[in-house]
Chains A and B, each alone.
Chain A
Amino acid sequence: MNGVDFSFADQHLCALASGALWWPDLKLLCVSDLHLGKSERMARRGAPALPPYDNHDTLNRLAVDLERTKAEMVVCLGDSFDDLDASITLESCEKMQISSLQAGRRWIWIEGNHDPGPIELGGTHLSEWTCGPLVFRHIAQAGGQSEVSGHYHPKASVRIKGRSITRPAFLLDCNRLILPAYGTYTGGLRSSDPALSNLMETGAMAILTGSQPQIIPMPRRV
């Protein structure tokens, strides 16, 4: 598997190059912030019509990860839809694509701030979910322990030989793990931003996604 293996809350986990989290013992794949329906929502609000291929692209990448891992369980960590209307206005082919990805798997939708209610699609809808020692929720909570979350769309930058390399990144410390955004039309928040620097403990690490994911001490503001 192309990823970085690490241990968190005594569990063996793997940060995949794609930005998905893989938990091999449970055959569980976790993705965060898919933001399906983003381009449609923007057009609805009167913004320019962005290329309408984002749902297709996000779901295709998810299909590849599911195929590779043979996952039996999927957790979508919230903000799976850009808003609740977006979950309704999905094209029928996109709904079918989601259904076919769900076939034969347990599927959990965690609520996010963009999609804070139940949606019509199959799967279980939960505000948060505890599985063994791990808690899955959308936004990290103060004092959270063994917590897997998303929301911030973290990214990290390193300067090497005069070049700055920035990638979406997993952030990891002794208490929490924050996943990068998986959706195609998503931006990122630098790990050096106070919102993330203050959240993460001393000694936090960042795992940069990309064709060969790499782990480094989490970049902070000096």
Chain B
Amino acid sequence: MTQIPTRIAAWFAAKGWSIHPHQQEMFDRAQDPASLLIAPTGGGKTMAGFLPSLVELADGGHKGLHTIYVSPLKALAADIKRNLRTPVDEIGLPIRIEDRTGDTSATQKKRQRADPPHILLTTPESLALLTSYEDAPRMFDGVQRVVVDEIHALAESKRGDQLMLALARLQHLCPDMRRVGLSATVEDPAAIARFLARHPDPCRIIQADPGPDPDISMLETQEMPPWSGGGAAYAIPAVLDQIRQHKTTLIFHNTRAQAEIFFHNIWLANDEGLPIGIHHGSLDRQQRERVEAAMVRGDLRAIVCTGSLDLGIDWGDVDLVIQIGAPKNVKRLVQRIGRANHRYNAPSKALLVPANRFEVVECVAALEAAKAHELDGESRGSGPRDVLCQHILIAAAAGPFNANTLFTEMTSAGPYAQLTRTEFDACLEFCATGGYALRAYDRWQRLQQRPDGLWQLRDPRAAQRIRMNLGTIQDTDTLKVRLKRNRGGKPLGEVEETFAASLTPGDTFLIGGQIVRYEGLREMVVEVSRRADKKPKIATFSGTKFATSTQLSERILHMFAQPDWPQLPSHTAEWLALQRDMSHLPQRDRLLIESFPNDGRENLCVYGFAGRNAQQTLGLLLTKRMEETGLAPLGFVATDYATLIWGLDEVTDPRPLFQLGALRDGLDKWLAGNAVMKRTFRASATIAGLIERNIGGQRKNGRQATFSSDILYDTLLKYDPNHLLMQITREEAMRGLVDFGRIEAMVARIGDRIDLLRLDRVSPLAAPLFLEVGKVPVKGAAEERLLAEESARLLQVAGLQPM
């Protein structure tokens, strides 16, 4: 077994550090083909991952790239570079360390390909891009180790699937390459180990001491949280108080919009001018970097942030984490709390701030679950085939390939270990010809098989197009926001295109904590001017949706069954009592449905407490029946607890909606026409390479220059419903839904134990649902009725006769 060289050991000793047991174990196991370290934040994960590389590189004998480090965040790669430089410089090791992300300059990138560093820090997308070049074998020659940081976060998304395919490629180029995964605490380490390892290699799991339980509680406030709302403005004085009492506080929000509103409000109340910053993914890069730098220098007392700071960036002395809004799932809560107090073996301190009364209930349930060490999560199933299609194109961009070799390589990636040859061939066919039932474009095939059997791009220039459209992150299309000046003012950040489309000049909104006025759209840039107003006219742009775990739902239902609620603050207990009084509290063996008018529409709230996927499916099924029975539904939104449906007519009898036979009848057709499917198709078609987001460096304006992906979807549905992309769309959509069989079973179990209550207004429990994101429109008879009424109204207003 290798020993840690004396000068490295001496450096540790000089710092007064001893090597943690899990760091030693990782070092001892450094020759294993794959290992996974599970450690809490602050557990010295990075050093555990890099120590073997530092030792192997210490004698200066290795030429070229030795270790590739992959992290989900650009900022994290930059941060690790800083943290790694310190020991390398202080010990005087002959190691070159560089990062490579979307932010790296073109010159630097070109140089790195010709003369790679010893340690390259990068992201999954940049790594996939590197494997797409013809010179990849030369650049990656001799790579010994790959370290995947925050692998628990990557394993939840298609970015991780893409990374594992890229690693399979690398492994093919460098057979000796060893893999290391670094993960926060997760519920199923074995699943992540299978994800990481070259199939069927074993992967040892090394568990660090999880450390003491975090010190976590609810923030006590003078003010009461509101019935609904997500801003938590009521808690601002109490939060400021906490900031004053701590060195550095991180204030996490579930969405960017909430972070913006909170930041705005805290500045209005920040009379003593405490240095507080904001950081989220929609902000301009320079703005983010400025905040990051201030944080490293210790200039900030607090940062209002979102998931962009979620992952283990090691900045300054954070001694308190505040979570605004219910944490939605226990795992995320525990990982966020890990951000506070980076000293190993000292408890982290965290405070939860519910934004409304329902969230008080959720927070209490989450606290109980965290104390019980119950982590939640769902397994993801096998790797999606849209990512596979993209990877075939990437392979083609790198040069001619043999289909058998590529298949063998891909099935060595954990997520694709179960892939069949038939499935692979369908993907290859799609990449080559489009894979349509109607043979077309034979002359224009994208990939062609040469006489020697290898596949290659018909037009080598296509490689550039493939590289430009690489990646699996499906942001909604966003537009840059700039201050209006003669020659392009300061960039402020980005907003969703749909939000920009809803603005008219004069509208004010929040970005980067300041209020700006919308001036106009110029060449796909939103131009704004600064305003000194106190309140923005339009509060927010839309945010991300998190699903609460079913496990929390169970705890909440359990709580509802209590006669009273001593564990809840009195205001929340009173609020639940009011719900019980005005309507009912949902029960496990009955189905509560509330019907009430609100804002000119009729609403139906169905409390199934079945988890978001099941409630989403229920929304699809119930709107189908409402459309069929002429109740003119307009849309629905699902949470983990309930489905809220709005439409034009009042539901007076729920029984026809729940008739099993009718639910099943024509379901395929209804589902196929739904917005959920169209959204899913758009994402998968983009990843699989049917839709190009980037053409010649310019992201195309999805609205005017081209036609919508919905048209492609409708066309395939009509003429080629079993096309590969339609199969993928159905598979991917089902990840957000549940088997209809499960809903049928639920409906059968409930039987006639359905309580439909007619209320004259929204109930306490239903109020928070109106703020949910992820609304699904239903495009049926209601839309035609609305349009006809609006036409009549507008003509009358204009003094015109209907024609």
Contacts and interface: CB of A to CB of B under 8 A. Distances in A.
Interface of A: 4-6, 39-40, 43-44, 46-54, 56-57, 158, 160-165, 184-190, 193, 208, 210-212, 214-217, 221-222
B441 A217 contact: no
Given A49-B441, A49-B446, A217-B798, A5 B803 contact: yes
Contacts of B692: 47-48
Contacts of B441: 39-40, 43-44, 49, 52
Given A46-B459, A187-B704, A187-B708, A53 B777 contact: no
B465 A186 contact: no
Given A46-B465, A51-B712, A51-B716, A208 B787 contact: yes
A201 to B, nearest CB: 14
B803 A51 contact: no
B388 to A, nearest CB: 16
A51 B436 contact: yes
A215 B716 contact: no
B436 A52 contact: yes
Interface stretch (B285-293, B360-368, B658-666, B789-797): B789-797
B462 interface: yes
Contacts of B716: 51, 53
Nearest to B706: A187
Interface of B: 433-434, 436, 438, 440-441, 443-446, 459, 461-462, 465, 502, 504-505, 599-601, 634-635, 689-692, 703-708, 711-712, 715-716, 718-720, 723, 777, 783-784, 786-791, 794-795, 798, 800, 802-803
B444 A44 contact: yes
Contact of A158 (B445, B634, B790): B790
Contacts of A221: 504-505
B559 to A, nearest CB: 33
B774 to A, nearest CB: 15
B712 A216 contact: no
A187 B705 CA distance: 7
A48 B691 contact: yes
A161 B601 contact: yes
A215 B790 contact: no
A217 B440 CA distance: 43
Contacts of A39: 440-441
A133 B692 CA distance: 45
25 contacts: A5-B803, A40-B444, A43-B441, A46-B461, A46-B465, A48-B689, A48-B691, A49-B441, A49-B444, A49-B445, A49-B446, A51-B716, A52-B436, A52-B440, A53-B438, A57-B715, A158-B790, A158-B794, A162-B599, A185-B715, A190-B704, A208-B787, A210-B787, A212-B788, A217-B795
B438 A52 contact: yes
A183 to B, nearest CB: 9
A181 to B, nearest CB: 9
Contacts of A187: 703-708
Contacts of A40: 440-441, 444
B434 A52 contact: yes
Contact of A217 (B433, B784, B786, B794): B794
Given A212-B788, A214-B790, 10 more contacts: A47-B692, A50-B712, A56-B719, A158-B794, A160-B787, A185-B707, A185-B711, A186-B707, A210-B784, A211-B784
A205 to B, nearest CB: 8
A214 B791 contact: yes
A215 B803 CA distance: 8
A47 B445 CA distance: 10
A214 B436 contact: no
A54 to B, nearest CB: 7
A50 B786 contact: no
Given A50-B690, A163-B777, A188 B704 contact: yes
A47 B434 CA distance: 11
A5, A53, A57, A164 pick with most chain B CB within 10 angstroms: A53
Contact of B723 (A44, A51, A160, A165): A51
Contacts of B708: 187
Contacts of B704: 187-190, 193
Contact of B433 (A49, A50, A165): A49
A53 B715 contact: yes
Contacts of B789: 160
A37 to B, nearest CB: 11
Nearest to A35: B707
Contacts of A215: 791, 795, 802-803
A54 B441 CA distance: 13
A46 B461 CA distance: 8
Report the 10 A-B pairs with minimum CB-CB distance, sorted nearest first. A49-B434, A52-B440, A187-B707, A214-B791, A43-B444, A53-B719, A43-B441, A160-B786, A160-B790, A216-B794
A215 B436 CA distance: 39
Contacts of A210: 784, 787
B502 to A, nearest CB: 8
B803 A4 contact: yes
A158 B504 CA distance: 14
A48 B787 contact: no
A89 to B, nearest CB: 9
Nearest to A157: B501
Contact of B718 (A4, A53, A189): A53
Contacts of B691: 48
Contacts of A6: 803
A214 B789 CA distance: 10
B787 A158 contact: yes
A222 B504 contact: yes
A56 B691 CA distance: 21
B434 A51 contact: yes
A54 B436 CA distance: 13
Contacts of B800: 217
A161 B504 contact: no
A91 to B, nearest CB: 8
B601 A214 contact: no
Contact of A48 (B446, B634, B783): B446
Nearest to B797: A217
Nearest to B783: A165
A178 to B, nearest CB: 15
Contact of B715 (A47, A184, A188): A184
Contacts of B433: 49
Contacts of B705: 187
A160 B786 CA distance: 7
A123 B729 CA distance: 42
A161 B788 contact: no
A179 B470 CA distance: 38
A149 B109 CA distance: 51
Given A49-B444, A51-B719, A52-B441, A161 B798 contact: no
B594 to A, nearest CB: 20
A187 B580 CA distance: 51
Nearest to B601: A161
Contacts of B707: 185-187
A53 B690 CA distance: 15
A214 B788 contact: yes
Contacts of A48: 434, 446, 689-692
Contacts of A51: 434, 436, 712, 715-716, 719-720, 723
B467 to A, nearest CB: 14
A117 B107 CA distance: 47
A46 B440 CA distance: 14
Given A160-B790, A215-B803, A54 B459 contact: no
A51 B784 CA distance: 29
Contacts of A212: 784, 787-788
A158 to B, nearest CB: 6
A165 B434 contact: no
A165 B787 contact: yes
A149 B599 CA distance: 42
A131 B446 CA distance: 46
A163 B746 CA distance: 32
B129 to A, nearest CB: 19
A193 B703 CA distance: 12
A44 to B, nearest CB: 5
